[in-house]
Structure 1
Amino acid sequence: MANSKYEYVKSFEQPDLLLPNTWIVVRIDGRGFHKLSDRYGFIKPNDRRALDLMNAAAAEVMKELPDLCIAYGVSDEFSFAFHPSCQLFERRSAKLVTTIVSTFTGYYIYLWGTYFPDTPLQPGGLPSFDGRAVMYPNSRILRDYMSWRQVDCHINNLYNTTFWMMVLKGGMSNTDAEQELKGTISSDKNEILFKRFGINYNNEEDIYKKGSVIYRQYQLEDVKAGSSKEQEEEETTPLQAGIPSKSQQEKIRKLRRKAQVVVDHVDIIRDEFWDRRPWILSGKPGRLPAESK
């Protein structure tokens, strides 16, 4: 590109590189989704169509960006994690965030009609999302972040399930329901659901209680005693291999594209999930599952 007297304006662009050798989590959230859910008649307390739409859009993001290792979503939010070895966009924050937000939003709108065929989107009511990038220094803290989001999912869902049963089936006003639930603990809400409405919260669908985790499926590993501790110690030390070359990065991307992207609703707080899927924290593609005969 030829130089010009106007090129000096480039000097105002400031670098926004994220720290090397850290996990990068890009978390997106729906903007004004309370109004959007009311406008399009989302079912309370959970609308399976809306959650399936979120999961479908997130799965497409995972397919578009093989550098991603795992994603976790609940309600109108999703968290996407890049491995510390990731060099996509030279780890520029704005590029990573805007790419994920725009890709997710594009698929969310594109797939809307699949899940809401009788409720087309309208001008003035289009869904949009914002995003941010956060760095985590090791896999233990990354897991704690994911655990925090799943615990939050359970707490919010138990509250919302109880609240909306009291309003929709119990005939209470929003204010009265909020007042009665103020200061209650989990056992109190479970008792209200069971005694008043015959609902055993344990029987609620896992997608509502545990949220959705999306990852690439390889052959599951057998759980070995002490594996989590050994893996944690390994992952909390600085990376020794250095930055992968461009050819190595592209090779890993090709291997990841061959794996199936799956949406699951499981406990990601306990060690078993991570022990059986070591490729998520290692960043190295696993063995593809043997084809069924």
Structure 2
Amino acid sequence: MANSKYEYVRLFEQPDNLLPQTWIVVRIDGRGFHKLSDKYGFEKPNDRRALDLMNAAAVSVMKDLPDLTIAYGVSDEYSFVFHPNCELFERRSAKLVTTIVSGFTAAYVYQWPKFFPDKPLQLSNLPTFDGRAVQYPNASILRDYMSWRQVDCHINNLYNTTFWSMVLIGGMTNVEAEKELQGTVSSDKNEILFSRFGINYNNEPEFFKKGSVVYRQYQLQEPEAVGTTTAHTQQDDEPISQLSRTQQEKIRKLRRKAQVVVEHVDIIKDDFWLRRPWLLSGKPGKIPVE
């Protein structure tokens, strides 16, 4: 780049590199999605089409960025996880966040007609997302973060299922239902659902109760084969940055070959992580034999 008298303005740019050897979570959220869901008539308490669209956009992001390890989504929120070994964009926060937010938004808008063919988007009501990057020092805390989001999914879904049953089936107003649910605990909501509407919350779809987990699928391992150390305390491997560029690119190619899957499973217990050791190790596993 040629020098000029105006180049001094670059001095105002501040570095935003994230700490090395930490897990990076980029969490995105829909902006004004309450208004958007009303505008396009999303079903209450859960619109399967809208959730499938969120998952489709997340899969697109995962395929585009092989450096991503796993993602978790619920409602209009998605968390994308980079392994501590990741050196993408020199770990610059703004680059990581904007790449994911823009990629997710583009995929969401592009695929909208597939899931809502009868409800074309309007320029005055386009879906948009914001995002932030948070760092976690070890795998244990990263797993606690993921568990927190899944617990939050359950809490919110139980509340919303009860609330909208009281409104849509029970004929109550929003204010009346909200007032009655104030101070209730999970057992109270389960009782309301079963006694008034014959709904057993345990039989509700796992999709809605557990949210969506997106990751690259390799051959599953039996927990015994991984060792006795739990996944919750498993140590991260040596930094990929210490590998040659050729080795790093080989790992990315292996990741691109893996199928990206969407599942609705428990990610709080150790079993999920023990059977998928590549999620915490940062190294690709073996491609499943078809």
Give the TM-score normalised by structure 1. 0.96
Q: Does structure 2 conserve the Cα–Cα contact (< 8 Å) formed by 1:61 and 1:104?
A: yes
Q: How does 1:40-189 map to 2 (within 5 A)?
A: 40-189=40-189
> 2: distance between equivalents of 1:246 and 1:177?
58
Q: Does structure 2 conserve the Cα–Cα contact (< 8 Å) formed by 1:85 and 1:243?
A: no
Q: Shift in Å at residue 235 of structure 1?
A: 1.5
Q: In structure 1, the residue corresponding to 2:21 is in which secondary structure?
A: coil
> 2: distance between equivalents of 1:253 and 1:222?
25
| Residue 241 to residue 77, structure 1, CA distance change in 2 (3 Å) | closer
Which residue of the partner structure matches residue 280 of structure 2?
A: 281
Which residue of the partner structure matches residue 253 of structure 1?
A: 252
Which residue of the partner structure matches residue 271 of structure 1?
A: 270
Q: Does structure 2 conserve the Cα–Cα contact (< 8 Å) formed by 1:21 and 1:239?
A: no
Structure 2 residue identity aligned to 1:199: I
| Gapped regions of structure 1 (runs ≥ 5) | none
| Residue 226 to residue 239, structure 1, CA distance change in 2 (3 Å) | closer
Q: Shift in Å at residue 229 of structure 1?
A: 3.0
> 2: distance between equivalents of 1:241 and 1:50?
37
Q: Shift in Å at residue 269 of structure 1?
A: 0.2
RMSD, matched Cα: 1.5
> 1: distance between equivalents of 2:191 and 2:214?
33
Q: In structure 2, the residue corresponding to 1:229 is in which secondary structure?
A: coil
Q: In structure 2, the residue corresponding to 1:134 is in which secondary structure?
A: strand
Q: Shift in Å at residue 247 of structure 1?
A: 2.0
Q: Shift in Å at residue 227 of structure 1?
A: 3.8
| Residue 118 to residue 82, structure 1, CA distance change in 2 (3 Å) | same
Q: Does structure 2 conserve the Cα–Cα contact (< 8 Å) formed by 1:105 and 1:128?
A: yes
> 2: distance between equivalents of 1:24 and 1:240?
14
Q: Does structure 2 conserve the Cα–Cα contact (< 8 Å) formed by 1:28 and 1:77?
A: yes
Q: Shift in Å at residue 19 of structure 1?
A: 0.3
| Residue 151 to residue 230, structure 1, CA distance change in 2 (3 Å) | closer
Q: Shift in Å at residue 224 of structure 1?
A: 1.5
> 1: distance between equivalents of 2:239 and 2:100?
29
Which residue of the partner structure matches residue 23 of structure 1?
A: 23
Structure 1 residue identity aligned to 2:124: G
| Gapped regions of structure 2 (runs ≥ 5) | none
> 1: distance between equivalents of 2:252 and 2:204?
37
Identity %: 74
> 2: distance between equivalents of 1:275 and 1:227?
9
Which residue of the partner structure matches residue 14 of structure 1?
A: 14
> 2: distance between equivalents of 1:232 and 1:43?
37
Deviating more after overlay: 194-203 vs 227-236:
227-236
Q: In structure 2, the residue corresponding to 1:235 is in which secondary structure?
A: coil
Q: In structure 2, the residue corresponding to 1:224 is in which secondary structure?
A: helix
Structure 1 residue identity aligned to 2:101: V
How many matched pairs? 290
Q: In structure 1, the residue corresponding to 2:202 is in which secondary structure?
A: helix
Q: Does structure 2 conserve the Cα–Cα contact (< 8 Å) formed by 1:68 and 1:80?
A: yes
Structure 2 residue identity aligned to 1:258: K
Structure 2 residue identity aligned to 1:200: N
Deviating more after overlay: 247-256 vs 222-231:
222-231
> 2: distance between equivalents of 1:15 and 1:121?
37
> 1: distance between equivalents of 2:252 and 2:225?
31
> 2: distance between equivalents of 1:233 and 1:193?
39
> 2: distance between equivalents of 1:230 and 1:193?
37
> 2: distance between equivalents of 1:87 and 1:103?
19
Q: Shift in Å at residue 242 of structure 1?
A: 5.6
CA deviations on 1:167-192 (whole Å, 9 max, x unpaired) are 01101011110111001111110010
